[in-house]
Structure 1
Amino acid sequence: MRASAKTLVTGAVLMLCAVLGLSGCSDKTGSEAKPTRIAFVPKVGGIPYFEAMNTGAQEAAKQLGVEWDSIGPATVDPAEQIRIIEGLIQKHVDVIVVAPNDPASVAPAIAEARAQGIHVMTSDTDAPASQRELFVNQATADGIGQALTDALMAKTNGGGKYAIVSCGETAMNLNSWISVQKEYTKQKYPNAEIVSTVYAGEDQETATTMAKKLMETYPDLVGLVGECTTSAPGVARAVRESQKIGQVFTVGIGTPQAIKPYLEDGSCSTSVLWNVESLGYLTVWSAKQLADGKTPAEVNKVSGELPAVRFDPAKKTLLLGDPLLITTANVDQFKY
C-alpha cells in the first residue's frame, strides 16, 4: 500500500527535525511550539511594588513571546511561598522565579523543581545557597545601604539616634542593606547611632505602630528608615500623625506614588529605589535566556531602556543598575 502524500510530507518534516535538532517540531505539520511558561512568586501579593514589577514583566512577555504569571502569597509566611512553588512544580512550568522571604526555607523547594527539570532563578532578593541558576539584582547592597544612610544623615547633620523599621526578618536583601547601613554609619558618621531594628512584615499599619513606639521609647530619636516599600510610607505616616515633621526625619525604600504625599508634606525626605518596572522587564528577559539555554554576556543590551546590563558569571547575577533617589523633583516621572 503506497504512502499518501501527507504521510510522506510528515515523515520528511520529522526526519529534518531529527537531523537538525530543531526544537518545537511536532508530529503535526503546521503546529507551533508552545511558548515558554514563566511563573513568578513574589514575597507577597497585591502590594504596589510587586504590581509595578508585574507591569514591566507583562510588557517584556508580550515583546518576547512568552507566558508570564505572577502568583503571590497573601502573607510573608515562607510556607505560603513553598506551597505555591510546589503547585508550579506540579504544573511543570518552564521557569520558576522567586523572591524568597526566607532563603533557607525555600531552598528544598528550589532543589525539587530543579530535580524535575524546571529552571529556577531569583529576582529582587536572592537565595545564593540554593540551586537557583540566576539572580536578577536591582542594585548592590552597598549602593542601597549607603544611599539610605547618606540621605538620612543629610537631614540630621550627620549625627543623632535613628532606628530601622524593616519587613521580613529573614529577607536576604533587606538584611544585606541593614548590614551595610550599620557598618557605613560607624565608619562615616561616628556621631550617629542605630538604636533599634524592628520587623513589621509587609504590613504598613504595623510599621506605623512600630515607628510610633520607637519614637516613644527614644524621645531623642532624629531619624527613621523604612527598609521596604510598605514600611517606608508607614514610618512617614507615624511622623506625620505624631506631629514630628521637621523633628524626626525619614527615608526609605518607597514606591513613588505611595511615598509622594509624604515627600510633599516633609514627613519623608527621600525614597531610595530603582525602576521597578524595568526590574520586571529584566526578570522576564533573564528567564527566557535561561529557558533557551543561553548564558548572558558580560554586558547585555536587554532593551532600549536597559542598554548595558552587567552579568557576574561567578555569582550568576545580573545587575539592573545604580539606586535611584526619588524626591519631590522627580516623583511624578513614575506612575506606580
Structure 2
Amino acid sequence: MAGCGRSTTTSQPSSRATGRTITVAMMPKLKGIDYFNACEKGAREAAAQLGNVNLIYDGPLEGKVDKQIEMIDGWITKHVDVIAVACNDPVAIAPVLKRAREAGIHVITWDADADARKADREFFVNQASPEAIGNELIDVMAEEAGPNARVLIVTSSLTAPNQNEWIKYMKARQAAKYPRMTIVDIKPSEEDQQLALRVTQDMLKSDPSINGVIGLSSVAFPGAAEAVRQAHLSGKVMVTGLSTPSSMRTYVKDGTVKTVVLWNPLDLGYLTIYAARALADGTLKPGSTSISAGRLGTKVVKGDQVLLGPPMRFTKANIDQYNF
C-alpha cells in the first residue's frame, strides 16, 4: 500500500511527547459487540502497562460513519494527542481525519483503514495482511466444502474497507487455486446479526446448490451459522468466517462450524495503543521497520502499516482456550 500523502497545510505536533502523559482517543466501528469489547480490553491493558496514556475509548452504537465523524470533531475540539479509529467508510471519514491532522493531532487507523491519502492518516494498525486473511478463508472453504464449492459471502456493508480488501484477495485466491469454486453472491448484513441470518436463509432457499457460506464479520458469521443450523443443513453447508471464539463456540461445539478464522482482538487493541504511544514519541515514523509492543514483542512495520501477524484458526480442539 502506498504511503499516505502529506499536505503542506498539515500542522505537525509542536513537540514530541516522550515522557509525558498523552491522551489517545480510540474509536471502534461500533460499541457493544464481543469483537470490539475484546479490542477495548486489550487497549486498556496496554494503557495501564504504559502508565502514561490516558485512554478515551468511545464509538457509535451502530456501524454508521456519520456518528463517527461527529465524535471525532468533538475530539478535535478537545485537542487530544492521538486519534485511532476503525473506519466505517474510508472515503466519508477522510475529511474529518484530515481536519484532525491539520489541528496538529496524530491520526492512526486500526481494524479498518481510511483512504490514506485523503485522510492524511499516518499509520494503519492492520490485524493481518488482507491477502493472508483472504487466502485463509478460501483455503478453509476448499478444505471443508471442496474445491468445487458454491459459496455465498455475507459481508457487513458494501463500503467496509477491510472487508472489500479481503474479498478482493478471496476472489484472487479462488481464481488462482480453486478455478472450479464459484462465489455465487456477496450480500451485506449491515452489522446486524438478524439481517445476516435472514440474508443467508433467503439465499439457501433460492439457490439450494450453495454448499458453503463465509461470514466476514463478528456478527455476520454467527448469523449465517444460525441460518444453516435452523435449516438443518449442518455438515451439508459448510460455514466459516471471521468472528470471536465466544460468539462461535456453540456452533463449533455442535458441529455447525468446523473452523473460525480470526486474529486475537485483544492483541489488536493492545498493539494500537503501543503504536499510538510510539507515534507521539516519534519512535514510529515514516521509514520505521518495526516497533516494540510490550508483551507482543517486536512487530513489523511495512510501509505505513503496523502488522499484528498472521490469522489464527479456532477449532473444537482449541476454542476453549480463548475467552474473547
Q: Give your verdict on TM over 0.5.
A: yes
Show the counterpart of 2:187.
198
Partners of 2:277 and 2:298 lie apart in 1 by: 18
In the alignment, is residue 307 of structure 1 matched against residue 297 of structure 2? yes
Identity of aligned residues (%): 39
CA contact (8 A) 2:16 2:282 kept: no
SS at the partner of 1:112?
helix
Aligned partners of 1:148 and 1:194: how far apart in 2? 12
CA distance in structure 1 between the aligned counterparts of 2:31 and 2:59, rounded to whole angstroms = 4
- Partner residue of 2:312 out of 300, 324, 335: 324
The residue type paired with residue 40 of structure 1 is: M
2:140 counterpart of 1:159: no
1:80 and 2:67 are equivalent in the alignment: yes
Determine the C-alpha separation between the residues in 2 that align with 1:34 and 1:87: 23
Matches within 5 A, 1:40-59: 40-59=26-45
2:229 corresponds to which residue? 240
Q: Distance in 1 between matches of 2:103 and 2:179?
A: 52
Contact 2:213–2:238 (Cα < 8 Å) also in 1? yes
Answering whether residue 54 of structure 2 is matched by residue 67 of structure 1, we say: yes
The question of whether the paired residues in 1 share the 8 Å contact of 2:284 and 2:291 is answered with no
Structure with bigger RCO (C-alpha 8 Å, 6+ apart)? 2
Deviation at 1:22, TM superposition (A): 9.7
My pick for the range that moved more, 262-271 or 220-229, is 262-271
User: Is the CA contact (8 Å cut-off) linking 1:200 and 1:206 kept in structure 2?
Assistant: yes
**Residues 224, 249 of structure 1: 8 Å contact kept:** yes
User: Which residue does the alignment assign to 2:176?
Assistant: 187
Distance 2:210 2:237 in 1: 7
Q: Secondary structure at the match of 1:175?
A: helix
Deviation string for 1:88-119 (max 9, x for gaps)?
Answer: 11111111101111010011000111111111
Whether the 8 Å contact between 1:76 and 1:168 is mirrored in structure 2 is no
Q: Conserved in 1, the CA contact under 8 Å of 2:85 and 2:108? A: yes
Tell me if structure 2 keeps the 8 A contact 1:110–1:131. yes
* Partner deviation per Cα, 1:164-190 (whole Å, 9 max, x = no partner): 000022111100001111121111112
Amino acid at match of 2:226: R
Deviations 1:281-315 (A, max 9, x none): 100000011111222642333123x1231012xx3
Superposed counterparts of 1:213-292, under 5 Å: 213-292=202-281
Runs of 4+ in 1 over 6 A off after TM superposition: 21-24
Which whole-Å deviations, capped at 9, do the CAs of 1:260-297 have from their partners, x for residues lacking one? 10111121121110111111110000001111122264
Find the counterpart in structure 1 of residue 95 from structure 2. Answer: 108
Deviations 1:222-250 (A, max 9, x none): 00000011111111111001111111110
Q: Distance in 1 between matches of 2:280 and 2:16?
A: 12
Find out whether 1:140 has 2:129 as its counterpart: yes
Match of 1:27 in 2: none
2:29 and 2:59 in contact (8 A); partners too: yes
SS at match of 2:203: helix
Which whole-Å CA distance do the structure 1 matches of 2:148 and 2:56 have between them? 45
2:110 is matched by which residue type in structure 1? Answer: S
Contact kept in structure 2, 1:121 and 1:134, CA below 8 Å = yes
Write out per-residue CA displacement over residues 60-98 of structure 1, whole angstroms, 9 at most, x where no aligned residue. Answer: 000112111211111112111101111111111111101
- Asked if the contact 2:275/2:284 (under 8 Å) is kept, the reply is no
| Rg larger for | 1
CA separation in 1, counterparts of 2:234 and 2:215? 16
Give unpaired runs (5+ residues) of structure 1.
1-20, 25-32
Shift of 1:34: 6.0
Question: Once the two structures are superposed, what CA deviation does each residue of 1:40-63 show, in whole Å capped at 9, x if it has no partner?
Answer: 111111111010000011010001
Q: SS in structure 1 opposite 2:182?
A: strand
Name the structure 2 match of 1:3. Answer: none
Q: What TM-score do you get using the length of structure 2 for normalisation?
A: 0.91
Q: 1:219 to 1:288 in 2, by over 3 A?
A: same
**Deviation by residue 1:121-166 (Cα, 9 ceiling, x = unmatched):** 1001111232101110000111100100111111112112111000
Specify whether residues 241 and 114 from structure 1 end up closer, same or farther in structure 2 by C-alpha distance, changes over 3 A only.
Answer: same
Task: Quote the Cα distance in structure 1 between the aligned partners of 2:100 and 2:38.
Answer: 27
Give the counterpart letter for 1:324 in structure 2.
M
